[in-house]
Amino acid sequence: MKNPNSQEHPWLIALYISGAGGLLAVYILIGFFGGKWLAEMLDGPRYWLAIGTVTGLFVGILNIALLIKKFLGAQSE
Protein backbone atom coordinates (compact mmCIF):
# COMPACT_ATOMS: atom_id res chain seq x y z
CA MET A 1 0.00 0.00 0.00
CA LYS A 2 1.37 3.41 -0.89
CA ASN A 3 1.76 6.09 1.73
CA PRO A 4 -1.39 8.20 2.02
CA ASN A 5 -1.04 11.88 1.22
CA SER A 6 -2.15 14.10 4.10
CA GLN A 7 -4.08 16.42 1.78
CA GLU A 8 -5.98 13.60 0.10
CA HIS A 9 -6.89 11.41 3.09
CA PRO A 10 -6.53 13.17 6.47
CA TRP A 11 -9.17 10.85 7.98
CA LEU A 12 -7.05 7.83 7.07
CA ILE A 13 -4.05 9.20 8.94
CA ALA A 14 -6.27 10.03 11.93
CA LEU A 15 -7.58 6.46 11.89
CA TYR A 16 -4.06 5.00 11.93
CA ILE A 17 -2.91 7.25 14.75
CA SER A 18 -6.04 6.71 16.84
CA GLY A 19 -5.57 2.95 16.53
CA ALA A 20 -2.19 3.29 18.22
CA GLY A 21 -3.76 3.02 21.69
CA GLY A 22 -5.38 -0.28 20.83
CA LEU A 23 -2.14 -1.50 19.30
CA LEU A 24 -0.26 -0.63 22.48
CA ALA A 25 -2.83 -2.51 24.58
CA VAL A 26 -2.43 -5.58 22.36
CA TYR A 27 1.37 -5.54 22.77
CA ILE A 28 1.05 -5.20 26.55
CA LEU A 29 -1.38 -8.14 26.69
CA ILE A 30 0.88 -10.28 24.51
CA GLY A 31 3.80 -9.48 26.83
CA PHE A 32 1.72 -10.27 29.91
CA PHE A 33 0.51 -13.63 28.62
CA GLY A 34 3.99 -14.44 27.29
CA GLY A 35 5.48 -13.79 30.72
CA LYS A 36 2.75 -15.82 32.37
CA TRP A 37 3.37 -18.72 29.99
CA LEU A 38 7.12 -18.63 30.66
CA ALA A 39 6.58 -18.50 34.42
CA GLU A 40 4.30 -21.55 34.28
CA MET A 41 6.32 -23.60 31.79
CA LEU A 42 9.72 -23.04 33.39
CA ASP A 43 8.40 -22.84 36.95
CA GLY A 44 9.89 -19.38 37.23
CA PRO A 45 9.22 -16.52 39.61
CA ARG A 46 6.04 -14.47 39.31
CA TYR A 47 7.94 -11.28 38.45
CA TRP A 48 8.32 -12.67 34.92
CA LEU A 49 4.79 -11.36 34.43
CA ALA A 50 6.08 -7.85 35.07
CA ILE A 51 9.07 -8.38 32.78
CA GLY A 52 6.80 -9.62 29.98
CA THR A 53 4.38 -6.74 30.45
CA VAL A 54 7.12 -4.09 30.43
CA THR A 55 8.71 -5.73 27.39
CA GLY A 56 5.35 -5.58 25.61
CA LEU A 57 5.05 -1.93 26.58
CA PHE A 58 8.46 -1.06 25.13
CA VAL A 59 7.86 -3.02 21.93
CA GLY A 60 4.49 -1.29 21.54
CA ILE A 61 6.01 2.15 22.04
CA LEU A 62 8.71 1.34 19.49
CA ASN A 63 6.10 0.19 16.98
CA ILE A 64 4.01 3.33 17.49
CA ALA A 65 7.10 5.53 17.12
CA LEU A 66 7.91 3.83 13.81
CA LEU A 67 4.30 4.28 12.69
CA ILE A 68 4.39 8.00 13.48
CA LYS A 69 7.77 8.36 11.76
CA LYS A 70 6.30 6.70 8.67
CA PHE A 71 3.45 9.18 8.47
CA LEU A 72 5.60 12.21 9.23
CA GLY A 73 7.92 11.13 6.43
CA ALA A 74 4.94 10.74 4.09
CA GLN A 75 3.84 14.30 4.84
CA SER A 76 7.22 15.79 3.96
CA GLU A 77 7.08 14.37 0.43
More confident residue, 33 or 4: 33
Non-local CB neighbours of 48 within 8 Å, separated by 6+ positions: 35, 36, 38, 39
pTM of the model: 0.72
Mean per-residue pLDDT for 4-11?
62
Domain residue ranges in the chain: 19-76
Residue 21: pLDDT over 80: yes
Q: Residue 7 above 70 pLDDT?
A: no
Q: Is the pLDDT of residue 74 over 90?
A: no
Q: Which residue has the higher pLDDT, 14 or 35?
A: 35
Q: Report which of residues 68 and 24 the model is more confident about.
A: 24
